[in-house]
Amino acid sequence: MKATVRRAGLVTVLLVLAIPGLAQAQSRWVVVNGVLMNPMQLAMLDSRACTTVPNGRYWLDLQTGLWGYARDPRPVGYIGEACGNGGGGGRGRPSLSERGMLYSSSPWGRGR
Protein backbone atom coordinates (compact mmCIF):
# COMPACT_ATOMS: atom_id res chain seq x y z
CA MET A 1 0.00 0.00 0.00
CA LYS A 2 2.74 2.49 0.94
CA ALA A 3 4.68 1.63 -2.21
CA THR A 4 1.61 2.37 -4.35
CA VAL A 5 1.10 5.72 -2.66
CA ARG A 6 4.79 6.56 -3.13
CA ARG A 7 4.64 5.64 -6.81
CA ALA A 8 1.51 7.73 -7.32
CA GLY A 9 3.16 10.66 -5.56
CA LEU A 10 6.32 10.27 -7.64
CA VAL A 11 4.32 10.13 -10.87
CA THR A 12 2.40 13.25 -9.84
CA VAL A 13 5.61 15.14 -9.06
CA LEU A 14 7.15 14.11 -12.38
CA LEU A 15 4.06 15.21 -14.31
CA VAL A 16 3.99 18.57 -12.54
CA LEU A 17 7.66 19.08 -13.35
CA ALA A 18 7.21 17.95 -16.94
CA ILE A 19 4.21 20.15 -17.80
CA PRO A 20 6.09 23.49 -17.71
CA GLY A 21 8.72 21.94 -20.00
CA LEU A 22 6.01 20.81 -22.40
CA ALA A 23 4.39 24.22 -22.36
CA GLN A 24 7.75 25.84 -23.12
CA ALA A 25 8.41 23.38 -25.94
CA GLN A 26 5.08 24.28 -27.53
CA SER A 27 5.42 28.04 -27.09
CA ARG A 28 6.45 28.45 -30.75
CA TRP A 29 4.34 27.23 -33.62
CA VAL A 30 6.08 27.68 -36.96
CA VAL A 31 5.08 25.64 -40.01
CA VAL A 32 7.35 25.76 -43.06
CA ASN A 33 6.32 24.00 -46.26
CA GLY A 34 3.63 22.12 -44.32
CA VAL A 35 6.02 20.82 -41.62
CA LEU A 36 5.76 21.91 -37.97
CA MET A 37 9.27 22.92 -36.94
CA ASN A 38 10.77 21.25 -33.87
CA PRO A 39 13.01 23.26 -31.48
CA MET A 40 16.21 22.27 -33.29
CA GLN A 41 14.79 23.22 -36.69
CA LEU A 42 13.52 26.52 -35.23
CA ALA A 43 16.96 27.33 -33.85
CA MET A 44 18.51 26.70 -37.26
CA LEU A 45 15.80 28.73 -39.02
CA ASP A 46 16.22 31.64 -36.57
CA SER A 47 19.98 31.50 -37.09
CA ARG A 48 19.62 31.63 -40.88
CA ALA A 49 17.06 34.43 -40.66
CA CYS A 50 19.10 36.41 -38.08
CA THR A 51 15.87 37.01 -36.17
CA THR A 52 13.23 35.08 -34.27
CA VAL A 53 10.74 33.79 -36.81
CA PRO A 54 7.22 34.61 -35.58
CA ASN A 55 4.59 31.92 -35.17
CA GLY A 56 2.76 31.21 -38.41
CA ARG A 57 2.66 29.25 -41.64
CA TYR A 58 5.24 29.94 -44.31
CA TRP A 59 6.62 28.58 -47.55
CA LEU A 60 10.33 28.61 -48.21
CA ASP A 61 12.24 27.88 -51.40
CA LEU A 62 15.27 26.02 -50.06
CA GLN A 63 17.25 26.65 -53.26
CA THR A 64 16.93 30.44 -53.40
CA GLY A 65 15.94 31.39 -49.85
CA LEU A 66 12.80 33.13 -51.12
CA TRP A 67 9.94 32.96 -48.58
CA GLY A 68 6.32 33.96 -48.17
CA TYR A 69 3.17 33.21 -46.22
CA ALA A 70 1.40 29.89 -46.74
CA ARG A 71 -1.49 29.97 -49.21
CA ASP A 72 -0.16 33.20 -50.71
CA PRO A 73 2.09 32.67 -53.74
CA ARG A 74 3.54 36.20 -53.56
CA PRO A 75 7.08 36.22 -52.15
CA VAL A 76 7.80 38.46 -49.19
CA GLY A 77 11.59 38.40 -49.25
CA TYR A 78 14.70 36.33 -48.82
CA ILE A 79 15.64 34.52 -45.63
CA GLY A 80 18.59 36.21 -43.99
CA GLU A 81 17.83 39.75 -45.14
CA ALA A 82 17.93 40.81 -41.48
CA CYS A 83 21.54 39.61 -41.27
CA GLY A 84 22.84 42.51 -43.32
CA ASN A 85 25.95 42.63 -45.43
CA GLY A 86 28.53 44.31 -43.25
CA GLY A 87 25.88 46.30 -41.38
CA GLY A 88 23.08 48.50 -42.57
CA GLY A 89 20.22 46.02 -42.23
CA GLY A 90 20.90 44.13 -45.45
CA ARG A 91 21.31 47.21 -47.66
CA GLY A 92 25.05 46.74 -48.06
CA ARG A 93 25.73 50.23 -46.75
CA PRO A 94 26.25 51.12 -43.08
CA SER A 95 23.47 53.12 -41.46
CA LEU A 96 23.89 56.73 -40.37
CA SER A 97 24.47 55.68 -36.77
CA GLU A 98 27.03 53.09 -37.87
CA ARG A 99 28.84 55.83 -39.78
CA GLY A 100 28.71 58.15 -36.75
CA MET A 101 26.45 60.64 -38.50
CA LEU A 102 23.10 60.18 -36.76
CA TYR A 103 23.69 62.35 -33.69
CA SER A 104 26.77 64.11 -34.88
CA SER A 105 27.49 67.73 -34.02
CA SER A 106 29.36 68.11 -37.31
CA PRO A 107 27.90 70.40 -39.99
CA TRP A 108 27.38 67.60 -42.58
CA GLY A 109 23.62 68.12 -42.77
CA ARG A 110 23.39 71.85 -42.20
CA GLY A 111 24.08 72.93 -45.77
CA ARG A 112 27.53 74.29 -45.01
The answer to the question of residue 7 being in a domain is no
Global pTM value: 0.54
The answer to the question of residue 70 being in a domain is yes
The answer to the question of residue 71 being in a domain is yes
The answer to the question of residue 63 being in a domain is yes
Q: CB count, 10 Å around CB of 67?
A: 21
CA torsion sign, 37 to 41 to 44 to 48? negative
- Domain limits for position 77: 28-102
Task: Per residue of the chain (112 residues), give pLDDT as tens.
Answer: 665 545 544 444 344 344 444 444 568 999 999 999 999 999 999 999 999 999 999 999 999 999 999 999 999 999 988 887 544 444 456 665 666 655 556 565 555 4
The answer to the question of residue 23 being in a domain is no
In the chain, the number of structural domains is 1
